[in-house]
Amino acid sequence: MIALYLTRRIFGKRTAADVRHDNLDLGATVDVSAWSADGVARVHYRGSDWSARLLRRGPLQTGPHRIAGQDGNVLLIEPLPAAQAAPSLDTNAQHNPG
């Protein structure tokens, strides 16, 4: 019993890369049509509506975004080049996560 515990403890450690490979949603594209005042968007993905927020601080832009992570039930997204060229909803809007 102790040998099994030690084997799992030593060899069963997972790296961040292992965890990323488990999340098949990473890299998928969603379309943001609007942002709320608190920096959250509702996006339709895999047949459901999800809350989404920017992975990094930046302008809140509409258009295509890439799923870059997940925080509980919130998708963490980043704009794709087409969205970076699109006009912002509010040029003064900045999202400051944290």
Per-residue pLDDT averaged across 7-30, rounded?
Answer: 69
Q: Over range 54-63, report the average pLDDT.
A: 93
pLDDT at 60 over 60: yes
Q: pLDDT-derived band of residue 24, with 50, 70 and 90 as boundaries?
A: confident
Two tokens, residue 6: 């030690």
Tens-place pLDDT, residues 67-96: 999 999 999 999 998 645 445 555 455 555
d(C-alpha 88, C-alpha 92), whole Å: 9
Which range among 20-29, 30-39, 57-66, 70-79 shows the weakest confidence by mean pLDDT?
20-29
Which pLDDT score is estimated for 42? 96
* pTM summary value: 0.63
Question: CB count, 10 Å around CB of 45?
Answer: 16
Rounded to whole angstroms, the Cα distance separating 13 from 24 reads: 20
CA gyration radius, the chain: 18
Locus of tokens 């084997």: 7
